[in-house]
């Protein structure tokens, strides 16, 4: 196992035994260690433990693990980690590039106070940026059709304002920073979409919506915002 510095100056760990090591910029424990095979099979609400480290100090954390597709969700209930009060009883989400779960796409964390940290940590495994950077290749891309006219109508109907937080910014005359979110992802397959299938969301709330495999409902997005002490749209 070799310690090295990322370009950002953040400490990370390189391992030769196939384990995934997540390095955190803050907190008592610098790293979470997941042994080889930890994410190999889909599970639901499965209790598992893994090592933690901070310098020469080693610890143990227990989580409730759910893996489906390319997303792994790890919850750390206090009742399972009473031995160490410094373990936050939050929710760690690891998004992988695909179902093989051997390339990390993003690591997010929702702490016990409701603070959402996007791209909160780095790992020793390659991420999508590291894999694709500087290399040209011919790739077959599956294009998923979206009804652009319907989405424009939905945004206009909501006055280009986020339904979750109320955010609205016109950065140029007639141009707004706003997304149109499908309650059921278009990747689920071909179907007819109607206006009621859509939500108008700002980029931040749109990302929150996709922090779980099944997108969060508008009510749940608002609950995350309230818990974090952030503005919530009326209605």
Q: Picking from 5-19, 31-45, 194-208, which range would have the lowest pLDDT averaged per residue?
A: 5-19
For position 61, what pLDDT does the model report? Answer: 93
Residue 114 near residue 224, CB atoms below 8 Å: yes
For the chain, what are the domain ranges? 2-132, 148-227
Spatial separation of the C-alpha atoms in residues 42 and 228, rounded to whole Å: 31
Of 131, 133, 104, 132, nearest to 120 by C-alpha is 104
156-166: b or e for each residue (b if 16 or more CB lie within 10 Å)? eebebbbbbbe
Spatial separation of the C-alpha atoms in residues 17 and 61, rounded to whole Å: 20
Residue range 109-158, pLDDT digits in tens = 888 777 777 777 788 776 544 444 454 444 444 433 456 778 888 999 99
């Amino acid at each position: 196992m070799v310690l090295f510095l990322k370009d950002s100056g953040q400490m990370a760990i390189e391992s030769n035994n196939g384990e995934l090591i997540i390095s955190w910029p803050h907190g008592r424990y610098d790293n979470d260690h997941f042994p080889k095979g930890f994410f190999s099979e889909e599970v639901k609400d499965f209790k598992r433990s893994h090592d933690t480290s901070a310098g020469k100090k080693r610890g143990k954390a227990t989580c409730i693990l759910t893996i489906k597709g390319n997303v792994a969700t790890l919850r750390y209930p206090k009742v399972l980690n009473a031995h160490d009060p410094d373990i936050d009883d939050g929710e760690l989400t690891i998004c992988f590039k695909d179902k093989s779960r051997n390339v990390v796409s993003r690591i997010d964390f929702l702490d016990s106070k409701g603070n959402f940290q996007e791209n909160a940590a780095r790992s020793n495994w390659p991420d999508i940026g590291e894999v694709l950077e500087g290399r040209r290749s011919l790739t077959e891309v599956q294009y998923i059709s979206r009804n652009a006219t319907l989405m424009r109508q939905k945004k206009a109907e909501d006055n280009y304002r986020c339904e979750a937080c109320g955010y609205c910014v016109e950065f140029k005359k007639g141009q707004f920073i706003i997304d149109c979110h499908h309650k059921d992802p278009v990747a689920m397959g071909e179907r007819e979409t109607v206006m009621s299938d859509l939500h108008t969301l700002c980029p931040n709330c749109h990302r929150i919506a996709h922090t779980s495999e099944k997108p969060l409902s508008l009510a749940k997005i608002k609950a995350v915002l309230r818990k974090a002490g952030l503005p919530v749209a009326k209605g």
